[in-house]
Amino acid sequence: MFFRTTKCSQYNHPELCFSCKMDVVPQQDIDWFIAHLESEVANGVTFKSGEFMQLGWMLNQLKMQSDNSIHILEPNMKDVPIVFIDSVTNTLKHFREQQDIVDSCTLNVAPDFPSLRTSIIASETFQATNSFYIAREVAENTESGWFFKDLNAEEDEYSVLSLYDFACKRPDLIKFLALPVGLGVLLRDGDCYRLVKNDREVQIKANSYLDQINSTR
């Protein structure tokens, strides 16, 4: 479905438009996004065609249309290098999921969104394993801080790849990528996800998003 801001023109700024699947993203998140964009413009932010914006971990491209509105595009989460499509469905879906995962933790922590352009160190067998430990360390330069270890690998062989490439191949783990430094996720043989800090398990809030995910595994 197609959506459009209505207040940006008050500030001599093009209206911003986007497409989103309502069976994936709830109306409240769509309404929030429209209000967020209008607030940014009201506060002096200028969105220009050809430039990029970031919401959560996602990189969005801005593109001027013939009616002088600016459409917001997102990566198709399939192709490397990135191919942008006229949609923000995954942008809003990931933004919500990543916040809800952090909120599932009983520790008082806030989301720390990386950029999909940063890198991750991962076992070369990361695509196939269902036993792993993925943790976030202090990042430097173009690193995300994320490290992925295959617990079933007999030999530790690692490679560095973009977080976007990693996510395209392991979309099931995108929801964890806003966990802050010091936290990790442990999964053994497809069992329940466990949050870990300093080698100790962190309790998950009852009836939280992650608790509900675990209840279906």
Predicted pLDDT at 217: 84
pLDDT tens profile 152-191: 988 889 999 999 999 999 999 999 999 999 999 999 998 9
Give the whole-angstrom CA distance, residue 101 versus residue 110: 10
**Residues 114-126: tens digit of each pLDDT:** 999 999 999 999 9
Distance separating alpha carbons of residues 174 and 12, to the nearest angstrom: 37
Please write the tens of the pLDDT for every residue from 79-107: 999 999 999 999 999 999 999 999 999 99
Question: What is the rounded CA–CA span in Å between residue 71 and residue 99?
Answer: 25
- Per-residue pLDDT tens for 14-39? 999 999 999 999 999 999 999 999 99
Phi-psi category of residue 190: left, alpha or beta, with phi > 0 → left and psi -120 to 50 → alpha: left
C-alpha neighbours within 13 Å on the C-beta side of residue 163: 25
Tokens of 17: 């438009």
Name the pLDDT band for 71 (thresholds 50, 70, 90). very high
DSSP helix/strand/coil, 205: coil
3-state secondary structure 70-103: EEEEEECCCCCCCCEECCCHHHHHHHHHHHHHHH
Provide the 3-class DSSP secondary structure of residue 147.
strand
Mean of pLDDT values over 40-48: 97
Whole-number pLDDT of residue 190: 83
